[in-house]
Structures are given as C-alpha cells and as structure tokens.
Amino acid sequence: MSSLLALDVNALLGRFDPEAGTLAGAKRVERRLSDLKGVFLDEVAYETACTEGDPLVYSVEAIEPGTADGDLHYGVGLIQPGRIGREYFMTKGHLHEWREAAELYIGLRGKGVMLLEDEATGESRMLPLEPGMAVYVPGHTGHRTANVGDEPLSYIGVFPARAGHDYGAYAVRNFRYAILDEDGAPRMIRREP
C-alpha cells in the first residue's frame, strides 16, 4: 500500500515538458531504428535506412508511483518525425499483460494517430492523437502510436500499475494494418496475412 509520506515528490507531482517530451524524475526508455526490426512493412526500405544511420525513433519517460492494483502509472512519449518507405515512425505497439487494463492517451504536441486492434476479432481503428484530444484504449486492445506530422509528437499515457506490456504477439505477426502516407494523409492499409 502506498503511503503519502513514503512517496517522493516526483510521484506526487508530475512535471512534464511537452516540447522536449520529458517527465522530471522518470525512468527513460529509448527505441532506435535498430530496435524496430520487423516492425515496418517495407523491409528493404528499413534495411536501407539502417545502413544510413541509427536515429532515435521514440522515447518514453514513465513514473511508477506504486505497484498496488489501484495504483496508476503514467508516462510521456515522444516520437520523432520520419518515414520508412511510406510508413511513419511509430512505436512497437503492445497489448497489456493484464488484458483488462485500459489506457488513456492525451495529445500534447504534434500530429499523431493511434492504431487500435481488438485482440479477439482483429477489428482495427485509426484515431487522431493531437493536442486537445484524448484517446481511450479499452482493455484487450493492441495499440500503436505513429507520428504523421513533420515535428515531434508528444503525448501522455495513463494506465493501471498492473497493466504490464506484452510485445510478444506483435513481434510474431505484427498488427493487421499498417499506417501509410497516401497523398500526404495517413491511411490504414491491410498487411498481407
């Protein structure tokens, strides 16, 4: 059980920078292009891009105040602008280990979309994630975020402490849809089975 006095100020008062995509006192995870093998649709474009460098694609800085069932974790994500072929820079995407866990995303900066995929039915939707918008990700739903603009995309994600991250399913088969730039706008394109 969390005690108010036992928590440090970073757990009680989040100070985030929407421009820099940082959260004071948070644990930071970085994903570079080389960390995203198998994620992008165009494997040739991916391999070519890897020969040209290993840029930072996204970072997440997360605060984990406690681990009790009722606790919340939250983090700030920052996705750089970029493309692999016609596909936008994006997160690996995941399900929650505790499948019932929902998550709320709040756009802070830039122009993004989220891809939501129902685990059981495969039903997929693409929703905008921009400043002034919140996206509710229900339980049992795979989710991935893409930067479809020309500047960094930042957002906050809030989720139950129990949620956990399950990357396994998408490491094997990826999401059913890719989000590609089609005449300057993001479109959901069905991958080959």
Q: Any contact of residue 117 with Fe ion (CB under 5 A)?
A: no
Kindly state the smallest distance separating residue 55's Cβ from Fe ion, in Å: 23
For residues 61 and 103, which CB has a smaller minimum distance to Fe ion in the complex? Answer: 103
**Where does residue 95 rank: exposed (0-12), middle (13-18), buried (19+ CB within 10 A)?**
buried
Q: Which residue, 73 or 109, is less far from Fe ion as judged by CB?
A: 73
Query: Quick check: 74 and 159 in contact, CB under 8 A?
Result: yes
For the bound state, the minimum distance from the C-beta of residue 11 to Fe ion, rounded and expressed in Å, comes to 20
User: CB–CB of 56/28 below 8 Å?
Assistant: no
Q: How far is the CB of 60 from Fe ion (least distance, A)?
A: 10
Closer CB to Fe ion, 103 or 117, in the complex: 103
For Fe ion, the nearest residue by Cβ is 103
Over the window 83 to 112, marking each residue x when it contacts Fe ion by CB under 5 A and - when it does not, the resulting string is: --------------------x---------
CA triplet 42, 155, 2: central angle to 5 degrees? 125
Q: Which is nearer to Fe ion, 89 or 155 (CB)?
A: 155
Q: How does DSSP classify residue 172?
A: H
Q: Which two tokens stand for residue 190?
A: 């069905």
Residue entry with tokens 């974790």:
73
| Nearer to Fe ion among residue 49 and residue 65 (C-beta) | 65
Q: What residues does 126 pair with on adjacent strands? A: 115
CB 109 within 8 A of CB 151: yes
The SS3 call for residue 5 is helix
Q: How far is the CB of 17 from Fe ion (least distance, A)?
A: 21
> What number of chain residues touch Fe ion (CB under 5 A)?
1
Closest approach of Fe ion to the CB of residue 67, in Å? 16
Residues that bind Fe ion (CB under 5 A): 103
